Amino acid sequence: MSGNSFGTLYCVTSFGESHGPAYGGVVDGCPPGLPLKSEDIQKELDRRKPGSSRHVTQRRESDTVEILSGTYDGKTTGTAIGFLVRNEDQRSKDYTAIADTFRPGHADYTYWQKYGIRDPRGGGRASARETVIRVAAGAIAKKWLAERYGVLIRGYLAQLGPIPVPFKSWDAVNQNAFFSSNLEMVKELETFMDNLRESGDSVGARVNVVAENVPVGWGEPVYGRLDAEIAAAMMSINAVKGVEIGAGFASVAQKGSEHGDEMTPRGFQSNNNGGVLGGISTGQPVSVSIALKPTSSIRVPRRTINTKGAAATVQTTGRHDPCVGIRATPIAEAMLACVLMDQALRHRGQCGDVVPPVKLK
Amino acid sequence: MSGNSFGTLYCVTSFGESHGPAYGGVVDGCPPGLPLKSEDIQKELDRRKPGSSRHVTQRRESDTVEILSGTYDGKTTGTAIGFLVRNEDQRSKDYTAIADTFRPGHADYTYWQKYGIRDPRGGGRASARETVIRVAAGAIAKKWLAERYGVLIRGYLAQLGPIPVPFKSWDAVNQNAFFSSNLEMVKELETFMDNLRESGDSVGARVNVVAENVPVGWGEPVYGRLDAEIAAAMMSINAVKGVEIGAGFASVAQKGSEHGDEMTPRGFQSNNNGGVLGGISTGQPVSVSIALKPTSSIRVPRRTINTKGAAATVQTTGRHDPCVGIRATPIAEAMLACVLMDQALRHRGQCGDVVPPVKLK
Amino acid sequence: MSGNSFGTLYCVTSFGESHGPAYGGVVDGCPPGLPLKSEDIQKELDRRKPGSSRHVTQRRESDTVEILSGTYDGKTTGTAIGFLVRNEDQRSKDYTAIADTFRPGHADYTYWQKYGIRDPRGGGRASARETVIRVAAGAIAKKWLAERYGVLIRGYLAQLGPIPVPFKSWDAVNQNAFFSSNLEMVKELETFMDNLRESGDSVGARVNVVAENVPVGWGEPVYGRLDAEIAAAMMSINAVKGVEIGAGFASVAQKGSEHGDEMTPRGFQSNNNGGVLGGISTGQPVSVSIALKPTSSIRVPRRTINTKGAAATVQTTGRHDPCVGIRATPIAEAMLACVLMDQALRHRGQCGDVVPPVKLK
Amino acid sequence: MSGNSFGTLYCVTSFGESHGPAYGGVVDGCPPGLPLKSEDIQKELDRRKPGSSRHVTQRRESDTVEILSGTYDGKTTGTAIGFLVRNEDQRSKDYTAIADTFRPGHADYTYWQKYGIRDPRGGGRASARETVIRVAAGAIAKKWLAERYGVLIRGYLAQLGPIPVPFKSWDAVNQNAFFSSNLEMVKELETFMDNLRESGDSVGARVNVVAENVPVGWGEPVYGRLDAEIAAAMMSINAVKGVEIGAGFASVAQKGSEHGDEMTPRGFQSNNNGGVLGGISTGQPVSVSIALKPTSSIRVPRRTINTKGAAATVQTTGRHDPCVGIRATPIAEAMLACVLMDQALRHRGQCGDVVPPVKLK
């Protein structure tokens, strides 16, 4: 399986470039009989959509999904679900200015060196617009996980540049452009972004995602661990530079007597492990935190090289998110959903006859 | 491919339990003609070996590797390399006290719930002793990467519990039991560990790994990214709860003008990206940092449940590492080597005819 | 990887149903820099197209391919190549008569039992129309194999029902609707098909495919053998019930002194092995023969069951190929091309540094 | 996944060479709780063992299997099952005479050209002795399939060189050295083999395998078809040159009205399709037939080349099966078992909630 697919039983394949005619995806292995309409997917795509506030890219895309196969009479058939999202607002001319130079921190340099091909239009395949496919595939996974197991997957912005945004309430998350769980902080975030945008610079972000009601037992030791596959899925999102499960890097300084989550017949007494032990879900919420780096396309002039290898200066004036992390919440949720669904199916394949010995709580 | 294998072209398969007769591994896809003797592997296994200082488990294992196939006349043949490491010092009786209770933070609970089977001896498959196979597979990858591309992979302990151990010199790393790059700090680390051991508690650690001389162009966008596969490989190591590439979580608070590594004809001017952009290697050092949680097997009494689901208390008195992170450096190096080698082969498969357009420096 | 994808480095994914809006495919792993236009694919699709003679289904489809990604400026970029073939002539009403009954020998029964879903329109995913994706993916593989290694892949109809059609000349193959290599036999084949069509019955066929100029060394022992993957690829084509490599079933009655192909410094003296020994290409032509069963959709009344499990009689009056084997030649060529290309890339990945010790001829 | 592994959820990995210390295998993905002792595997290995009659190789091997992991207390744990079969009777000196020449029809030529390495001892990795691992892996699959679903997998010799051996009775099969289902023909087969052995030549064979009680619904369209994976598994067995499912090549000349298996509420009325339609099991017996070529190691002198590429003559005087097909029955059964088990687990993974709409019979 090459790099544009992932998953073993719930397998997602993606194609498309930022300035080509369309993005497309194939979801293979979805169980049959799941009620599925394009609106189920559209709902999630709309959460990720560009142009929804002044704080994100002003590219105008309706991001309308068209399901081409794999459903009949409003239900999945068990065969491959193909779908398209047409690109509508490609302004390739925005890129003529930087056709021959590379943006520091951008993938256009490495794609060029790897493939020997220079597609200067909007980052080509490296564009974060590819995540539209992840969100669509995740929407299907979320729906199945919710209907079959009651799994609930939600995320929020945990930090915007230097500003921590501590968790306050799930209700708030979808009521603001930042996926902030704290509505009172929105004003501060807006001011920060307005100043940032004006400066022509960009900033990073931290996003947290949690999956509740995950049954105990999902995950395949030792290399196919649930947390290992979550880490890969998250790190494969554009701009992600770090992944934590549970206590994450805080566990470095913890004592064993502090970190190890005690159990009673009513369940675990804490969740430092983030819902995964030995690569297998514990039955507690699966909690993940990711770091997203600042956007590389900025108006601040920077030293770089051109396609001749000569010194150059670059400034990017196209339409870009000054903080890609702002729109990353639905993407991270989607990736977590895809991994969980794949592991759910694999677990059922191997261990479909196992009755978990005890039920806590 | 099930969970005990990883890799696409350089594929590693592992089997064995802590208290069974042996661990074994299969490395498939190694190029033919690589000079390979058991000493090449043994050398790395010895770095990871238990009982080498008072700060790690006192289990006595020679960890002797026996190559069973895949070489002829001192060279790899291109066929599957099978090898065994026999267990020599299994004291299953150490585990009778905890046969019916679960250690908080240990995988014995999740294995039991997933498979419906209780193997109480030393964690069974979940034991960190499994990493012997990773180190062996990594030894082969390291050798090939070094001989074919001059890639050099090295790691060190960056933090022991609350004590940061800043990088000082590579020479120091193999001269002390902690893989500390700073010999002057060893005394402090020893004192800390002596006190910790006496308290019956355990602690976490941070390990950094760096691969130098990695050519530009390795890694498969978009899901098969080099950094995504590194993240999975690292997170699959026992006790790892977090992974960072380059600036990692620090990039959250960085500005784009600070994070994006400028380029000149002489190369990159910084390495916030940790040697990977868009999932493809940049030609700079690939740098990774991981968080390891504290050992779950401690003498401190903790609340737990037993196999009936009833409340219980557990204390673990067997021979355990009070800090699994101490021996993790060679393991992390090995996992990085396996991922890089797999990506090197895959890159050559698809892009074997590409000449990178420019050569920096 | 789920069932709608195949290949390790050259990976093909397919979606679509006979009576949905479109078929689509994704080719991942194609080397960058290959000149590729939609005409390169269209040319092969036209060879497989329905309605091209009175001997095949009269469904009217232009089978126009639209490339959506993976190329730039007329060349492949190394990223996933997505493409669509829209369905234009779906007459779902043709199927209302058989909506509740199953055709003997057709997959509609097994799909229904596997997935619990009944899509009666033209066989849904099981339709032979899916092979349009194989032919498109194969067209890209053929082009790369020809340009990079001079590999030439051609097939022909070797038997039509009871009539053997011995090989005569490659030139003839594309000059008649049957892919017969013997133009003098076309009249006989036409008469046979006219009578068959009138009778409402169908018939099987044998198709042979040959790949010339395949270098020695492609194929991965022991399970990933070149011939094993060819066998899977061929058997995955709708209606195929048998696969032979080289002498095939004739080798059962051969002596070793007859079957084993002698070698001289000028090369092999015969090709009973069909270009594969031990799963690795020998450098001789790779030769494959496949058996295709007669179409199951016939006008002859047959005993069957309905969706209630009750006895029923079925006759199929839609537009069907009375011999699916007639259009199978380009499909078999395409599958052989995909397998060879995948193995070529994998061989280069693992053995890119090997210089074959001798060159025969 | 590289070439020495196969299977998606039930994954088999193999290593070892004919003249190395041991063969080893890893079975990953076996459901937990299956009673499994080494005798369960040994029983099948003994059926394949060399030296059991004068008609097969006289190499003396006890083929004793040692299970190294994956079981506890006589049951599978769900983790990887590792096992070894030591080589005991390697006479490498037998091969000094042919160290520099290649046997026509043998894989030693292609291995050498692919890998650039010459291991002249008994064919190295290409030896049919590798099938010991397949038989062991198949023994586990057979046991699970029988206990979980009542699946019964049996094979027999259907033709020995020119002599067809029509099916007579399953009872006979294990009562003679040929796996003949007809005891009355054994004398004729013995005489044929005695003459053949004396002549120094070898001969091919046909073996049939049948799996009964396979539930309807196993198999993944469109590329992961049950029959496609069976074809690959069979073609991957040493010496196999052809595979048929059901009517196989006979379906070429059949009419649709003859081939298509009619159904009544009591079930199918014939089995031309061999238990597979559209790549999915029908609920009828899965029936497979394979062609095995004659052994390439014969005493008859043959033209060949040597390692310098110069003309040479070769005669092979080591201990070889004059008909590898004689011992192939348990191997073919094993491969069928592995494929069925993998598909059973995958089907359960995706379609575990589906209730097949009707139950025939």
Give which of A8, A15, A38, A87 to mutate to test C binding, by max C Cβ within 10 Å. A15
**How distant is the Cα of D9 from the closest Cα of chain B, in angstroms?**
5
Min mean pLDDT across A152-156, A184-188, B80-84, C313-317 is at C313-317
Q: Compute CA distances B168 → B48, B284, C167, whole Å.
A: 22, 20, 74
Chain B: give the shortest CA distance to residue A355, in Å: 7
Mean pLDDT of C312-316: 92
C68/A14 CB distance under 8 A: no
Tokens of B333: 């190096």
Q: What pLDDT is stored for residue D54 in this prediction?
A: 86
Q: Smallest CA–CA separation between B111 and chain A, in Å?
A: 7
CA of B215 to nearest chain C CA: how many angstroms apart? 16
Q: How confident is the model at residue C326 (pLDDT cuts 50, 70, 90)?
A: very high
What is the pLDDT at residue B61? 84
Q: Report whether pLDDT(B256) > 70.
A: yes
* Range in C16-20, D200-204, D278-282 with the lowest mean pLDDT: C16-20
Query: Under 8 Å CB-to-CB from A123, ≥6 apart: which residues?
Result: A18, A106, A107, A108
Testing the interface with D: which of C132, C252, C347, C350 to mutate, by most D Cβ within 10 A? C252
Which residues in chain D are contacts of C251 at CB distance < 8 A? 204, 241-242, 291-294
Using the predicted structure, report yes or no on whether residue C121 has a pLDDT greater than 80.
Answer: no
Question: Cis bond leading into C173, ω under 30°?
Answer: no
Between these two residues, C51 and C223, which has the higher pLDDT value? C223
Alpha-carbon gap: C350 to the closest alpha carbon of chain B (Å): 5
Strand, helix or coil for residue B84:
strand
A6-26 confidence digits (pLDDT tens): 999 999 999 999 989 999 999
The secondary structure of residue A208, as a DSSP letter, is: E
Strands (E), D133-285: 152-160, 163-164, 205-212, 240-245, 263-264, 267-268, 276-277, 280-281
> CB burial class (10 A; 0-12, 13-18, 19+) of residue C177?
middle
User: Cβ A124–C79 below 8 Å, yes or no?
Assistant: yes
Give D301 to chain B, closest Cα distance, Å: 28
- The answer on pLDDT for C300 being more than 90 is yes
- pLDDT given for residue B122 in this prediction: 65
The minimal CB distance from B117 to the residues D9, D72, D80 is found for: D72
Chain A residues interacting with chain D (CB cutoff of 8 angstroms): 8-9, 29-33, 78-79, 148, 221, 345-346, 348-354
Which residues contact residue D324 at a Cβ distance below 8 angstroms, ignoring those fewer than 6 apart? Answer: D128, D205, D238, D239, D292, D294, D295
Reply yes or no: is the peptide bond before residue A222 cis, omega within 30 of 0.
yes
Those residues of chain C whose CB sits closer than 8 Å to some CB in chain B are: 8-9, 29-33, 78-79, 148, 221, 345-346, 348-354
Contacts of B16 in chain D (CB under 8 A): 68-69, 80, 82
Please give the residue that has the higher pLDDT: either B283 or A51.
Answer: B283
Residues of B with CB under 8 A from a CB of D: 1-5, 7-11, 13-17, 20-24, 26, 28-29, 32-33, 66, 68-70, 72, 75, 77-82, 84, 114-117, 119, 124-125
Report the candidate in D297, D359, D344 with the shortest Cα–Cα distance to residue D104: D297
pLDDT tens, position by position, C122-174: 678 999 999 999 999 999 999 999 999 999 999 999 999 999 999 999 999 99
**Best residue in C249, C298, C306 to probe D by mutation, most D CBs within 10 Å?**
C249
Whether residue B23 contacts residue D47, with contact meaning beta carbons closer than 8 Å, is answered with: no
* pTM of the predicted model over 0.95: yes
Average pLDDT over residues C71-80: 96
Interface touch C124/A22, C-beta < 8 Å:
no
Joined together, the tokens standing for residue D285 give: 């017996």
Distance from CA of B276 to the nearest CA of D (A): 24
- The full length of chain B comes to 361
DSSP A101: B
| Residue closest to B239 by CA, chosen among A272, C111, D112 | A272
Rounded (10°) CA dihedral C245, C247, C251, C255: -130
Asked if the Cβ–Cβ distance from D350 to A31 is below 8 Å, we say yes
Cα–Cα distances in Å, from A311 out to A98, A101, A303, D167? 14, 9, 7, 79
Interface test with A, best of C4, C36, C87, C133 (most A CBs within 10 A): C4
The fraction of chain A above a pLDDT of 70, given in percent, is 97
A82 vs C15, C115, C117: nearest CB: C15
In three-state secondary structure terms, A142 is helix
Both tokens of D313, joined, read 């003559």
Distance between CA atoms of residues D185 and D183, nearest Å: 5
pLDDT band at residue A52 using 50, 70 and 90 as cut-offs: confident
D202, C256 in Cβ contact below 8 A?
yes
Give the model's pLDDT for residue B2.
Answer: 85
Q: How many CB atoms sit inside 10 A of residue A322's CB?
A: 25
What is the spatial distance between Cα B69 and Cα D23, in angstroms, rounded to a whole number? 8
Enumerate residues 6+ apart whose C-beta is below 8 A from B195: none
Smallest CA–CA separation between C58 and chain B, in Å? 40
CB contact under 8 A, A228 and B220: no
pLDDT tens-digit series, residues A305-336: 999 999 999 998 877 889 999 999 999 999 99
Q: Quick check: D25 and D11 in contact, CB under 8 A?
A: no
Structure token digits, residue D275: 């238990």
Q: What residues pair up with B210 in beta bridges, in sequence order? A: B154, B287
Contacts of B164 in chain A (CB under 8 A): none
Give the integer Cα–Cα distance in Å for B71 and D270: 51
* Smallest CA–CA distance from B117 into chain D, residue: D77
Question: Is A3 in contact with B224 (Cβ distance < 8 A)?
Answer: yes
CB distance B137 to B70 below 8 Å? no
Q: Taking CA B140 as the corner, what is the angle to CA B134 and CA B144, rounded to the nearest 5 degrees?
A: 140
Give residue B321's pLDDT. 86
Selected residue of C258, C259, C303 to mutate for chain D interface (largest D Cβ count, 10 A): C259
What confidence tier does B93 reach under pLDDT thresholds 50, 70, 90? low
Strand order in the sheet with C65-67: C5-6, C11-16, C22-28, C81-86, C65-67
Q: D33, B117: Cβ pair inside 8 Å?
A: yes
Contacts of D93 (CB under 8 A, 6+ apart): none
**Cα D148 to the center of its chain, rounded Å:** 22
Count the Cβ atoms, other than its own, within 10 Å of residue B97. Answer: 14
By the 8 A CB rule, do C60 and C80 touch? no
Chain D residue numbers with beta carbons less than 8 Å from the beta carbon of A148 are 353
Q: Which two tokens stand for residue B192?
A: 């800390």
CA distance A91 to A57: 13
Q: Which of chain C's residues have a Cβ under 8 Å away from the Cβ of A16?
A: 68-69, 80, 82
> What confidence score (pLDDT) does residue B94 get?
61
Within 8 A of B128 by CB-CB distance, chain A residues are none
Nearest by CB to D357, from C112, C257, C300: name it: C112
pLDDT confidence bin for D121, thresholds 50/70/90: confident
Query: Tokens 């190294």 label which residue?
Result: D68
For the record, the structure tokens of A10 come out as 């719930």
Calculate how close chain A gets to D153, using CA atoms only, in Å: 21
When pLDDT is averaged across residues A197-225 and rounded to a whole number, the result is 97
pLDDT at A40: 98
Note the pLDDT tens digit of each residue in D54-88. 888 877 888 999 999 999 999 999 999 999 999 98
Q: Write the residue in C29, C30, C352 that is nearest to B352 by C-beta.
A: C352
Question: Which pLDDT belongs to residue C92?
Answer: 59
Q: ipTM for the complex?
A: 0.97
Give the pLDDT of residue B50: 78
Q: How confident is the model at residue D92 (pLDDT cuts 50, 70, 90)?
A: low
Q: Residue A340: CB partners within 8 Å, gap ≥ 6?
A: A141, A145, A151, A153, A211, A214, A218, A226, A286
CA nearest to A348 within chain D: D349
The pLDDT tens digits of the residues spanning B193-240 come to 999 999 999 999 999 999 999 999 999 999 999 999 999 999 999 999
Selection from D243, D272, D199 nearest residue D332 by Cα: D243
Yes or no, beta carbons of C114 and D257 under 8 Å apart: no
Chain B partners within 8 Å of C353 (Cβ): 31, 33, 148
Residue in C30, C346, C350 nearest the CB of B31: C350
For residue B332, what are the CA distances in angstroms to B38, B44, B156, C168, C214?
Answer: 21, 12, 9, 62, 41
Contacts of A254 in chain B (CB under 8 A): 203-204, 293-294
Of the partner residues C2, C14, C20, the one whose CB lies closest to the CB of residue A29: C2
- Do the Cβ atoms of C15 and A68 come within 8 Å? yes
The per-residue pLDDT for range B285-297, each reduced to its tens digit, is 999 999 999 999 8
| pLDDT of A337 | 98
pLDDT digits (tens, 9 = 90+) for D158-198: 999 999 999 999 999 999 999 999 999 999 999 999 999 99
- pLDDT mean over B153-170: 98
Chain pair A-D, CB pairs under 8 angstroms? 59
The tens digit of pLDDT for each residue in D253-262 reads: 999 999 999 9
Largest CA distance in chain C: 67
Residues of D engaging B, defined by a Cβ cutoff of 8 Å = 1-5, 7-11, 13-17, 20-24, 26, 28-29, 32-33, 66, 68-70, 72, 75, 77-82, 84, 114-117, 119, 124-125
